[in-house]
Amino acid sequence: MRSFIFALIAAATVCAPTTAQQPPADLIVMNAKVITLDAQRPQATAFAVKDGVFAAVGDDGAMAAHRGEKTRVIDAKGRTVIPGLNDSHAHVIREGRLYNQELRWDGVDSLERGLAMIREQARRTPKGQWVQVIGGWSPYQFKERRLPTVQELNDAAPETPVLVLFLYSQGMLNRAGVEAMKLTPQSKAPEGGRFELVEGGGALLHAEPRPIILYQAVGRLPPMSPEEQSNSNLHWYRELNRFGLTSVVDAGGGGHAFPKDYASADALAKENEIPLRVSMYLFAQTAGTELQDYQKWTEEVKLDFNRASARLNGYVIEGAGENLVHSAGDYENFMAPAPQMSDEKLRSELTAVTTLLVRKGWPIRIHATYDATITKVLDVFEQVFKSENFKGRWIIDHAEGISDRNIERIKRLGGGVSVQNRMAFAGEYYAERYGKDAAASAPPLRKLLDRGVPLGAGTDLTRVSSYNPWLSLYWMVSGKTLGGTELYTKQDRLTREEALRLYTIGSAWFSGEEDIKGRIATGQLADFAVLSADYMTVPEEQIKGIEAVVTVLGGEVVYAVKPFETVAPPALPPVIPDWSPVAHFGGYQNATKADRTNKGDSDAGLPVGGVL
């Protein structure tokens, strides 16, 4: 079906009338610094959009032929414009139903400020509810460069339950949280986890190394109502648009069951109210029933069926993963040793599930952090692919520890690798455990790119990394963690253009859309972002502070702020519940916004232009 749709788009582009006969564009952007990522025209100053695709790309003068009485025109005032960003490994559907109840420490620059946010939020949180800080931060982003203590959580919220999740490594409960969960010295932790009750009240939840203990803790928190979840989704997706994100490849997630936990997103997709293109992989939730789950899903689920009818590939199920079988899960707690797995069980279960999926023609992806795991997975894949003559799309996710040998195997077998900036949040712990030399190539971005392996970029949002894509771009370019620790040598880092390509064209491969999105070029889907600063020239540290000032999906403006507020979409309904942390703090705390260094910008305020 997708190939057929793509062919129609290509045919419409090839058969378009000459410039003199062109129907008026719906939208024109001009006076811009356009990074097209199109080899035929790497740069431009203007483009036109018609029916959701780019109709023309060139200079300002060339757009006159596309302008009509009803054409909306945006004067970019010399700002940089890029193709819409695309996260190739995210957990956006899960976060949509949780966002409004979470206090985000993403971007907070001091632990003192983070604890003050907890203190303030605890005062407004009603009885029976929690203060929840669920990942997306690193202690090294704080000036104090350390984790909070349980006693500090007790002091900040003596009466209100608090859960603070640090990546998938550790959870912290205050005294009130331990009481609410009824933990005692006799409480038994799930396999691969450990409770540590601390003096003065409270507890540490150790994922050693399995995160089930953390999944279960989050799962015990009171859920929002269906109405609140719907509202949460709306504000969550607007927050992603804030950073120029227009597409995601969703990897399911632990504690996020299909189809039950997809209900609020499904409803919004049917109303075309999700301002992203979302391709989803289905994640097996329960150990021991993975094969039965995939048997059921492959019989009942139609791949690539678009539930968002007004938006091409707006909301589709793409395939299976990232968890295919729990026996292959190696997790990513770099504060603990790598997990030991049963080779026989892994081989048997993964062979059965992979064979089923290959026979059904489903694309597959699998979480694999360490090279030992990747080797075992590739041993199974290679055998099954050969016996079933499989030529479909398949993906290794994360791959921090991958060896040169396994890079070559993936290349030979036709797979791709999706990388994320988990090391920007946990690189110090990885280097401490495995050594600086190992950390310097975790993952080996330059080798993967130079070998021509299909490579996509992302974040693994929202628990083991923030959802801000510019932190991932910064990590690929600088080779540094959020705390400034230099992991990669200059020769192992990517250029700014290479990193941007991975976050656009590269990521499109993972949903089979590399031919129609990721570039600003005639016939491509008109997804793009106007930036707050020039990504190609700002000082490296300021990449982290870049945001979008306008984000456009299929020619429709889905996000806009000053000086382009006149083209902004309608305001969202107020955040509910009214005590939500999002209502009071918002989402990402951008303490270091990039300087406005584009033409026409000044700290005193930009010329209001936007619509002509």
pLDDT at 612 over 90: no
pLDDT band at residue 21 under the 50/70/90 scheme:
low
**Tens digit of each residue's pLDDT (9 = 90 or more) over 27-49:** 999 999 999 999 999 999 999 99
Other beta carbons within 10 angstroms of residue 13's beta carbon come to: 16
**Which amino acid, 567?**
V
Asked, for residue 278, whether it belongs to a domain, the answer is: yes
Q: What is the pLDDT of residue 77?
A: 97
Other beta carbons within 10 angstroms of residue 128's beta carbon come to: 8
Asked, for residue 482, whether it belongs to a domain, the answer is: yes
Same domain assignment for residues 481 and 391: yes
Q: What is the pLDDT of residue 2?
A: 56
Same domain assignment for residues 554 and 504: no
**Tens digit of each residue's pLDDT (9 = 90 or more) over 501-527:** 999 999 999 999 999 999 999 999 999
Same domain assignment for residues 484 and 535: no
**Tens digit of each residue's pLDDT (9 = 90 or more) over 152-164:** 999 999 999 999 9
Asked, for residue 91, whether it belongs to a domain, the answer is: no
Domain boundary among 511, 545, 576: 511
pLDDT band at residue 332 under the 50/70/90 scheme:
confident
pLDDT band at residue 488 under the 50/70/90 scheme:
very high
Q: What is the pLDDT of residue 16?
A: 46
pLDDT at 192 over 70: yes
Q: What is the pLDDT of residue 62?
A: 96
Please state, for a pLDDT cut of 90, what percent of the chain lies above it: 90
In order, the DSSP letters of 72-131 are: EEEE-TT-EEEEPEEEEEE-HHHHHTTGGG----TT---HHHHHHHHHHHHHHSPTT--E
504 in Cβ contact with 84 (< 8 Å): yes
Lowest mean pLDDT among 317-331, 539-553, 555-569, 587-601: 587-601
Of 162, 63, 61, which is closest to residue 118 (Cα–Cα)? 162
Rounded Cα distance between 138 and 152, Å, is: 17
Same domain assignment for residues 78 and 105: no
Rounded Cα distance between 505 and 485, Å, is: 29
Please give the average per-residue pLDDT across 95-113, as a whole number: 98
Same domain assignment for residues 288 and 409: yes
Strands of the sheet containing 72-75, edge to edge, are 53-58, 46-50, 27-30, 72-75, 610-611
Please give the average per-residue pLDDT across 97-102, as a whole number: 98
What are the backbone dihedrals phi and psi of residue 164, each rounded to the nearest 5 degrees, phi first?
A: -115, 120
pLDDT band at residue 242 under the 50/70/90 scheme:
very high
Asked, for residue 236, whether it belongs to a domain, the answer is: no
Structure tokens at 493: 């880092």
Q: What is the mean pLDDT of the chain?
A: 93
CA 27 to chain centre: 28
pLDDT at 458 over 70: yes
Domain with 214 in it: 99-219
Element (H, E) at 250: strand 245-250
Which residues does 419 contact at the CB level (< 8 Å), separation at least 6?
Answer: 398, 399, 443, 445, 448, 455, 456, 457, 458, 502
pLDDT band at residue 496 under the 50/70/90 scheme:
very high
Of 51, 83, 50, 46, which is closest to residue 63 (Cα–Cα)? 46
**Tens digit of each residue's pLDDT (9 = 90 or more) over 73-85:** 999 999 999 999 9
Asked, for residue 240, whether it belongs to a domain, the answer is: no
pLDDT band at residue 22 under the 50/70/90 scheme:
confident
Same domain assignment for residues 439 and 357: yes
**Tens digit of each residue's pLDDT (9 = 90 or more) over 389-441:** 999 999 999 999 999 999 999 999 999 999 999 999 999 999 999 999 999 99
pLDDT band at residue 9 under the 50/70/90 scheme:
low
Q: What is the pLDDT of residue 590?
A: 85
Q: What is the pLDDT of residue 8?
A: 54
Same domain assignment for residues 203 and 277: no
Same domain assignment for residues 80 and 104: no
Q: What is the pLDDT of residue 595?
A: 41
Overall number of domains in the chain: 3
Q: What is the pLDDT of residue 504?
A: 98
pLDDT at 600 over 50: no
Q: Which comes out higher in pLDDT, residue 386 or 591?
A: 386
Question: What single-letter DSSP state applies at residue 584?
Answer: H
Please give the average per-residue pLDDT across 209-238, as a whole number: 96
Please state, for a pLDDT cut of 70, what percent of the chain lies above it: 93
pLDDT at 604 over 60: no
Q: Which residues face 560 on adjacent strands?
A: 550
Asked, for residue 159, whether it belongs to a domain, the answer is: yes
Same domain assignment for residues 449 and 313: yes
pLDDT at 148 over 90: yes
pLDDT at 607 over 50: no
Q: Report the CATH number that the domain containing residue 585 is assigned in CATH.
A: 2.30.40.10
**Tens digit of each residue's pLDDT (9 = 90 or more) over 289-330:** 999 999 999 999 999 999 888 888 899 999 999 999 999 999
Same domain assignment for residues 480 and 542: no
pLDDT band at residue 340 under the 50/70/90 scheme:
confident
Asked, for residue 434, whether it belongs to a domain, the answer is: yes
Same domain assignment for residues 488 and 532: no
93 in Cβ contact with 265 (< 8 Å): yes
Same domain assignment for residues 486 and 545: no
Q: Report the CATH number that the domain containing residue 340 is assigned in CATH.
A: 3.20.20.140
Length of the chain: 612
Please give the average per-residue pLDDT across 235-246, as a whole number: 98
pLDDT at 274 over 60: yes
Asked, for residue 27, whether it belongs to a domain, the answer is: yes
pLDDT at 605 over 70: no
